[in-house]
Amino acid sequence: MDTSVTRTTDRLGRPTGPRRKYTVAEKLAILAETRRRGASVAEVARAHDINANLVFGWRRLERRGALRAELGEPGSLLPVKIEIETPTVVPGRSRRATANIDPTAEAGVIEIEFDGSVRVRLHGAVDMAVLTPVLAALRRR
């Protein structure tokens, strides 16, 4: 690790100046030390002259996969298909009648596909209280 950062302190002995930047590889190496049998996060942090709370924060990031993402490892992407629908003209309605319609009512379409077998299309405004249990039931299938 690069320890060439000069550290200055204020009159109370607190560190001042530029903060030490750790690379993702350094963070992962320190986290690997904390997973050794009998290791203590506090002891490992003290050995590297850092706060244990910082190491615990890195652990949370690692659990979420954020540290791996910083390394440039590819994440899982979902296929997205964007379709542009042309507005349909309703026979018998004048322009004045359509101007009074809520523009957000049919503003967009969301299509969700599960394993290529189940497709859900949502038009206009979506009620999350209804959609959430529907998606949860489809995930369990």
Give the type of residue at 25: A
* Region 44-67 average pLDDT: 91
* Region 77-92 average pLDDT: 65
Q: For residue 100, what pLDDT band results from cuts at 50, 70 and 90?
A: very low
Q: At what angle do helices 24-34 and 52-64 cross, to 10 degrees?
A: 100
What are the residue boundaries of the structural domains of the chain, listed by start?
8-71, 95-140
Identify which of 40-44, 61-65, 95-99 has the greatest average pLDDT: 40-44
CATH 1.10.10 for domain 8-71, yes or no, is: yes
Q: Under 8 Å CB-to-CB from 118, ≥6 apart: which residues?
A: 138, 141
Distance CA(49)–CA(16), nearest Å, equals: 15
